[in-house]
């Protein structure tokens, strides 16, 4: 197997280019733990409807929401 090892960001939710989510419903919280972790990353994809019933909680250094 050939390949390239790539470091990727740690994201709780990530939508890359070409990805599409019509509806995403989370009835509680989105909670992340760790340094340099992002709760939500829209990286060229589409999210048409997003419902969050709780909070976005980020724990760690250099955190991003």
Looking at the domain assignment, is residue 54 inside a domain? yes
Domain that holds residue 52: 10-59
Residue 5 in any domain: the answer is: no
* Tens place of pLDDT per residue across the chain (65 aa): 688 887 777 888 999 999 999 999 999 999 988 888 888 889 899 999 999 999 999 888 765 55
The number of domains in the chain is 1
Q: What pTM does this model have?
A: 0.69
Residue 33 lies in a domain: yes
Residue 2 lies in a domain: no
DSSP string over 3-62: -------EEEEEEETT-EES-EEESS-EEEESTTEEEEEEEB-EES-EEESS-EEEESSS
Q: Does a structural domain hold residue 52?
A: yes
64 found inside a domain: no
């Amino acid at each position: 197997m050939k390949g390239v090892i790539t470091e990727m960001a740690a994201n709780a939710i990530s939508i890359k280019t070409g990805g599409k989510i019509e509806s995403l419903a989370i009835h509680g919280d989105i909670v992340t733990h760790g340094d340099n972790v992002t709760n939500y990353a829209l990286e060229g994809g589409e999210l048409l409807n997003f419902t969050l019933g709780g909070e976005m909680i980020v724990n760690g250094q250099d955190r991003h929401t």
